[in-house]
Structure formats: C-alpha cells, structure tokens
Amino acid sequence: MRPATPVGRPNGGPTIRLSVTGNDTPLEEHDSTPGIVVDDDPAVREAIGLLAREDLPAYVVAHDSSPLAWAELADIALSEQRTLEAYGFATVAHRRGIDALTAAGWSAGDTVSWSTPANRGVLRAAHALARAASALGLMDEAATLADFLEQSDPDAEARIDSEHTPTQLIAVIPPSARPTVVAPVTEAYVIRGED
C-alpha cells in the first residue's frame, strides 16, 4: 500500500490524488434511537483515503467485505465514465452493505444514520449504485435505491453529494517548471509615418 504521494504526469508535472472518502462530517449528537450501526474497521476508512488510485483494486481484493472499499472503486469508475464497471463495483458494494446491515439486525425502514462513520460505507454503496443505475438508464433501480437512502437517513444523499465529489487528478505545476510547449514570440510593430 502506497500513500498518495505526488506522481509523475506525462506533461512532467506531479499529480495529487483526491479521494472521495472524506472526514468532513462532524460527529453529531445522536438522539435516543440512533438506529442501526454496522461493524466498522476504521483502518479501512483511513487507508482508502490515503491510497493512490492505482493501488485501490488490490486493496479492495484484500478487504472484499468492505462496502466502503467497493463504493470507492465504483466512484472512481464513474468519475472515469466507466459506467458498466462502476455498476458492477457498486452492485458488490451495495450487497456487502446489505450483508453488514443484516448482521447488525437491520430490517427495511430502520434508520441508518450518516452521522455514524461506520454507516457511511453502506450509504455510499447505495448512492454509488443509484448513480451507476441512473447512468445506464435503469431508472426503476435508481429510484428504489433513492428510496432506500431516504428511508435510511433523509440527509444522506445530500451529505454524500456535498462531501464526496468525483475522484479526480489535479496536475500540480511548480513555478520553477518550464512549459513543455513554447509560446510563440510576440512582437509589437510600430509603423512610423510622416503625419
């Protein structure tokens, strides 16, 4: 497992991986009925945020029961317009999420709060599958998953959308770097006349 250190780009500039896994949501006070809380592995959440993009598939294979790991893989595929692959990854993510919910005693309609970090992988898995299904034109499936998210936590979809942008690479060009394409020389011509 390699941390997300800058990596070389074809244009010579390094890149920084921005993960869709964030830790921006503050822990909130739970009411007397916090709902279902799935088993969690905080090390998986932390590692996914640090992995370089190319290392994620091997990590997912090693942690194949994690809905968050599969959801991250699905989000990356969606961000790269690999919709069919994203749908496959998200389907596995959602299945792992349902397995985790069932093991925690969940039944349809139970609250699965986004404010509980352990539950975020399950909710992101459903969200990723809804997005992939929608991209493939599977609108009934996308609607069913949107209903699942709404019943689980009415704020989950908006929180995921606001806190987890599509994964991307940003080219970092240091000021000392020379451009690979030389700009044409610009000259000003002044025509002097008799007037």
- Which residues have CB under 8 Å from 79's CB, separation 6+? 20, 166, 167, 168
Look up the pTM and report it: 0.70
11-15, 103-107, 184-188: least confidently modelled range: 11-15
The two three-digit tokens of residue 55, written as one number: 């290392």
Share of the chain above pLDDT 70, in %: 68
Mean pLDDT, all residues of the chain = 80
Contact 128, 75 (CB under 8 A): yes
Give me the residue spans of the domains in the chain. Answer: 7-171
Going by pLDDT thresholds of 50, 70 and 90, the confidence category of residue 31 is: very low
28-32, 57-61, 130-134: least confidently modelled range: 28-32
Residues facing residue 3 across a β-bridge: 51
User: Tens digit of pLDDT for each residue in 36-90?
Assistant: 999 988 999 999 889 888 899 999 999 999 999 999 999 999 989 999 999 999 9
First-to-last C-alpha distance (Å) of the chain: 74
pLDDT at 163: 83
Going by pLDDT thresholds of 50, 70 and 90, the confidence category of residue 35 is: confident
